[in-house]
Structure formats: C-alpha cells, structure tokens
Amino acid sequence: MSETKDHLLKDSFILFLATSIVNLSNFIFHMYVTRKLSPSDYGALATLLALVIIFIMPAQALLMTVAKKVSIYKAHNQFEKIHGLFKKTTKWFLILGMFYFIFFMVFSGAIMKFFNMDDVVLIVILAFISIVAILLPVVRGILQGLQKFARFGLNLISDAVFRLLSVILFTGLGFGLRGALLSSLFSALLAYVLGLFMLSEFLKIKEENIQLKKREFFGYALPVFFSMVAFSILSYMDLFIVKHFYEKEQAGLYAVTSIIGKAFLYFPMAIAMALFPKVSENFELNKNTKGLLIKSVLLTGLISFTGFLFCYFFPEFVIKLLTGGKKYLEITGVVKIFGLAILPLVLLNVIINYLLAIHRYFFIFIMYSGIIVYAGLLWFFHKTFYQVIFILFLVNLIIFILSFCSIFIYGTVKKNLKEKIVGI
C-alpha cells in the first residue's frame, strides 16, 4: 500500500478535526448572531455571506489550481518554484479583487433591490471582503498542495475563531448587522497574514525567472472555477430564491434551517480537502486513484448520514441550541429532513474534487444542466419550504449520480477505444 493511501485517513482526520472546530466556531457564531439580530436581519446576513461565497469562486478555483500545481512541484521535489508561483498568482488575483470591488460599487443598488435590502454600507463591506477573500486561497492552496494539513487546518481555525471574537466585539459596540458582516472581513485578513508566516520557510527559497504560463495555469483554473461556481449555486440558490420571494421574517427562518443543515453536514468536507492533493500526486505519478475515491465517498456518506440522524431525532434541541428562543420552533419539521436533502450535495463535492484532480471535466456540463432545471423549478415551485427542499434534494441527487457514473463510463469508453486501435 502506498504512502499516500496510508496517510489518507490520518490527513483526513487532521482536517476533519480542524473543520470540526471551524464548524463548531461557526455554529457558535450563528448562535450568537441569531440572538443579537432579528430574523429579518439574520436572513440578510445569511444572504450576504452566501453572496461572498458565490463571488469569490475564482479564489476557490485558485486554491485548487495552486494546490494542484504545488502537488506537482512536490511530486518532483521542485520546492524552489513555490515562491515564483506565489508572486505571480498574488498579482493576478489582486487585480481580479479590484474588479470585484468596482462591480459591487456599481451594482450595489440592483443587489439591494433584488434581496430587499436598504443599507448600502453592507455592500461596501462586501466589496472589501471580496478583495481579501480573493487573496487568501493563494496561501491556503500552497499549504494544501504541500500537504501541510496541520498548518492548513490551523489557518482555517484562526479564521473562524477570530470571526467569532470579532462579531462579539462589533455587535457589542452596537454595530448590529454591519458588525456581523465586518467580522468576516477582519478574520479573513488575519488568516491571510498568518498564512504568510506559515509559508515563510518555502517563500524564502527563491528561483529566478520561473516559467508559469498564463494559458497553462488558467487553462486548469477555468474548469475549477466553473465547477466551484456551479457547486456554490447549487448550495445557495434555494436561499436566494427564498430571500427574493418570501417576506423578510420567513426568509430569516429558512436561513436558520439552511445554516443548521450545513453546520452538521459540511464536517466531512475535510475528506475532500485531503483527497484532492493526494489524487493529484498519484495521477501525476500514474498510480491508481479509484481506491481513494471509493474510500472518500464512503467516509463522507457515513459522517453526513450521522449528522442527518442527529437533526432528525433532536430537531428542537438543535434549534434551541442555535437560536436560544422559541421564535424559530416552527421550522422543526423542515430541520428534520434538511440534512437528508443536502446529503447528495456533500457527496457531489467529493466527486468534483476527484474529477478535477484527474482532469475530467464532463461533469461540469452535467452540473450546469442541472442548475438550469433547478432554477426553473425553484422559480415556479416555492410555495412552501418543503417544496423548496424536495427540489433541492432531487436535483442534487440526479447530478451526483450522473457525475459519479461519468467516472466509470469514461474509463470503459477509453478502454474500448484502445482495444479497437490495437485491433486495427
């Protein structure tokens, strides 16, 4: 058994522990803000944070692209190339971050109108978050590619814990919704600075005139970008539709439901984080990767299903723990099943990481076809929360099944094609 396979469980456990702490910190964050903010303000906060995730997908694409590139450097012991990669990618994405800032400023009115908001300062804060958030994945991508999972996990933890401390400070000073959003800006900035210290030993190793072709780099970054955007849309479209069509109070109730589901079911994301650089390295060295995939899917499914069972049998406890009051208890029935609805999406994330690591991109067409169907169904069928959740589950289940099958269909087609060529 290879070293990479031997270490999958260990490294997954390290990241699982880190992301568990992150999820716990984020859960406490939401426990605090649901007590400090009204349901309508909380719904606005959840929507704005989801917008951050959607709009920084180029940064997430960068993280996976940098991790992929660094994993190749690691496989060939070319650590001296990391400094040049850091400098070039930082420059490219700082420019992108400035474009994002301008975008939010120009379209602030349209954004507020669509989501029924009336405070332009929130959009300004969002614009600044986009700049920092677009740079943070540079350092995290290098840490992930080097398989420095302890440092990577510590960086994630520092971000989440500082956000929690910041929101307590800012809301305590009376900044309300603005303060809750500001906490994400300051925590991301701290995590970025900390990431630079974590990489200092590698950034000191300099190589002159590193060759990093934009076409080669962005040629991989683009499919990563499109897949991450698609995954984010699938994750948050229900929240956006509810925020647009429902009254502010009802949108706030659904936001709580969404946060509960993701808090319990995004714990196994650590497995996908550990899987990606390992599959990338094995693929680069022409080693088998399907064993890592199957192991990751099974582990993810087991952890996620455990989260669902907890929500199903103890929904009132979870709601009271998060919100501290009875005003959210009317969503008890929805919370019971939301975990199951989001399960296919969590499993899909494993498939996405695997396929990107081995350069298979047909699943992107599957995802966007599903998004079109998803958007159409939600736009016309959103009368109740149960209707929204059923569509969420059904569409993501179909996308997951088709994407998973594409892995083995591709291998069969490739094998048959080779046999025909040999036969000729």
Q: Report which of residues 113 and 162 the model is more confident about.
A: 162
The reported pTM is: 0.65
pLDDT, tens digit, 9 for 90 and up, residues 407-417: 877 655 444 43
CA distance 395 to 242: 17
pLDDT on residue 165:
92
pLDDT on residue 2:
44
pLDDT on residue 402:
92
Rounded to 5°, the CA angle 172-184-306 comes to: 100
Assigned domain for 7 exists: no
pLDDT on residue 398:
92
Q: Which residues contact 419 (CB under 8 A, 6 or more apart)?
A: none
Residue closest to 392 by CA, chosen among 371, 361, 409 = 371
Assigned domain for 1 exists: no
pLDDT on residue 1:
38
Q: Which residues contact 345 (CB under 8 A, 6 or more apart)?
A: 231, 234, 235, 392, 396, 400
pLDDT exceeds 90 at position 368: yes
CA distance 215 to 298: 36
- Domain tally for the chain? 1
pLDDT on residue 162:
92
pLDDT exceeds 80 at position 176: yes
pLDDT on residue 417:
39
pLDDT on residue 422:
36
Structure tokens at 346: 């969590």
CA distance 236 to 243: 11
Assigned domain for 167 exists: yes
Local confidence band at 418 (pLDDT 50, 70, 90 cut-offs)? very low
Assigned domain for 159 exists: yes
Q: Report which of residues 110 and 76 the model is more confident about.
A: 110
Assigned domain for 171 exists: yes
Local confidence band at 228 (pLDDT 50, 70, 90 cut-offs)? confident
Q: Report which of residues 44 and 421 the model is more confident about.
A: 44
User: What does the pLDDT average to over 383-400?
Assistant: 89
Instruction: Please give the share of the chain, as a percent, with pLDDT higher than 90.
Output: 8
pLDDT exceeds 60 at position 246: yes
pLDDT on residue 213:
58
Half-sphere exposure for 383 (CA within 13 Å, toward CB): 1
Q: Which of 72-86, 97-111, 192-206 has the lowest mean pLDDT?
A: 72-86
Q: For the range 95-101, what are the long-range contacts, defined as Cβ-Cβ under 8 Å and sequence gap of 24 or more?
A: 96/58, 96/134, 97/130, 97/131, 97/132, 97/134, 97/135, 98/131, 100/55, 100/56, 100/127, 100/130, 100/131, 100/134, 101/127, 101/128, 101/130, 101/131
pLDDT exceeds 70 at position 231: yes
Local confidence band at 218 (pLDDT 50, 70, 90 cut-offs)? low
Local confidence band at 7 (pLDDT 50, 70, 90 cut-offs)? low
Assigned domain for 4 exists: no
pLDDT, tens digit, 9 for 90 and up, residues 22-79: 878 877 887 788 778 877 887 888 888 877 777 676 666 666 677 777 777 777 776 7
Question: Look-up: residue for tokens 């996908």?
Answer: 272
| Enclosing domain of residue 145 | 12-423
pLDDT exceeds 90 at position 373: yes
pLDDT, tens digit, 9 for 90 and up, residues 123-175: 888 889 888 888 888 888 888 777 787 888 888 899 889 999 999 999 888 88
Q: What is the mean pLDDT of the chain?
A: 78
Cα 168 from chain centroid (whole Å): 24
pLDDT, tens digit, 9 for 90 and up, residues 302-358: 877 887 787 778 877 777 776 766 667 777 778 777 878 888 888 888 888 888 878
Assigned domain for 5 exists: no
To 10 degrees, what angle do helices 315-323 and 290-313 make? 90
